């Protein structure tokens, strides 16, 4: 029982990990930490120079830099064709084998009041945060399931079932509890949670039809505030009202979020949080998502029962703050002098 409890559901040593949005922030920290565990790393982002610098940073923390392999591809992942090409290029670089892990970090937040946001920005948020991840997952899954490459079932049957492959989405606390001022952003992250739950069920079809092929696990992360360059950029356009609503959020560094996310992956969780508050809110809206075993389900049930009561008062307090802001400062979201 102890060995079972301590088993690693996310081994990366000697395996190839593709990180979309890996040139900075949490994606970069996750890449370095996975390199420290022996993973071969492929970074994807738009800026070639940032990618070169990122690769050097990741290499510096590698377990065995002489034998591990590192690569980067500059691409705009809001295009389906670009994501397909990224998987093809990664496969060619990796001796004809697709990556074992695809972790989607690419995205951005445009936290402005919905009415004040240009309609084109609403689409841009979906492209950056939802479609970039959906396209990457689509391309990766096709490379794993539809290429017809690799050994036949009989070969796997003799060799033993290979290690699982992983698709990892990066959603947000705001997918669980939206906050006024994030309407352009929050729906794109909520869509990722829905996609994750859908694929978690759908992939059972391929697992049973091809029992000796690598299984595919789908995970979604729900970080809250992360202190990155992107967070600083958000604060330059974020309304004062939204900043007021967030003032009790302590936030976390990219290194901490990456570490806690990897711990969740190693524990085999599908839905992963990096702080207690997010875990608490998630427990109130698990729906049909996998719980991760009886003990986890029981803890979620207890937290969920408490949360359903507590969040009634939290929402009431948030609404009160927004109404009071309107009375004091008007409807611009900007604090009056």
Q: Which residues are catalytic?
A: 185, 189
Task: Give Cα 33 distance to the centre of its chain.
Answer: 16
The residues facing 72 across adjacent strands are: 43
Lookup: tokens for 1? 């029982």
Lookup: tokens for 57? 């940073």
Assess contact for 108 and 128: CB atoms under 8 A.
Answer: yes
CB hemisphere CA count around 184 (13 angstroms)? 25
The residues facing 74 across adjacent strands are: 45
Scan for tokens 């301590």, then name that residue: 6
120-131 core/surface letters (b: 16 or more CB in 10 A; e: else): eebebbbbbbbb
């Amino acid at each position: 029982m102890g060995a079972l409890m301590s088993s690693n559901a996310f081994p990366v040593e000697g395996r190839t990990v593709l990180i979309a949005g890996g040139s900075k922030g949490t994606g970069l920290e996750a890449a370095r930490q996975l390199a420290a565990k022996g993973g071969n790393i492929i970074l994807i982002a738009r800026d070639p120079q940032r990618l070169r610098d990122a690769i050097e940073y990741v290499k510096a923390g590698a377990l065995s830099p002489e034998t591990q392999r590192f690569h980067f591809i500059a691409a705009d992942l809001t295009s389906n064709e670009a994501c397909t090409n990224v998987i093809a290029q990664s496969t060619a670089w990796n001796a004809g084998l697709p990556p074992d892990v695809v972790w989607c970090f690419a995205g951005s937040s445009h936290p402005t009041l919905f009415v004040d946001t240009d309609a084109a920005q609403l689409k841009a948020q979906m492209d950056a945060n939802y479609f970039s991840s959906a396209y990457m997952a689509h391309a990766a899954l096709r490379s794993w399931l539809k290429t017809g490459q690799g050994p036949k079932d009989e070969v796997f049957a003799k060799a033993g079932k290979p290690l699982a492959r992983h698709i990892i989405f990066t959603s947000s606390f705001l997918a669980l509890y939206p906050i006024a001022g994030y309407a352009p952003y929050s729906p794109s992250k909520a869509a990722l949670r829905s996609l994750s739950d859908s694929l978690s069920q759908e992939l059972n079809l391929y697992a049973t039809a091809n029992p000796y092929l690598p299984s595919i696990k789908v995970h979604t992360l729900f970080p809250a505030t992360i202190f990155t360059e992107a967070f600083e950029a958000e604060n330059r356009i974020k309304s004062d009202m939204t900043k007021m609503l967030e003032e009790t959020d302590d936030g976390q560094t990219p290194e901490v979020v990456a570490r806690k996310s990897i711990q969740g992956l190693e524990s085999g969780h599908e839905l992963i949080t990096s702080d207690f508050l997010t875990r608490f809110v998630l427990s109130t809206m698990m729906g049909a998502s996998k719980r991760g075993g009886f003990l986890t389900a029981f803890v979620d049930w207890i937290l969920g029962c408490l949360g359903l009561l507590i969040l009634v008062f939290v929402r009431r307090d948030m609404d009160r703050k927004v109404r009071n802001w309107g009375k004091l400062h008007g409807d611009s979201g900007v604090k009056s002098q």
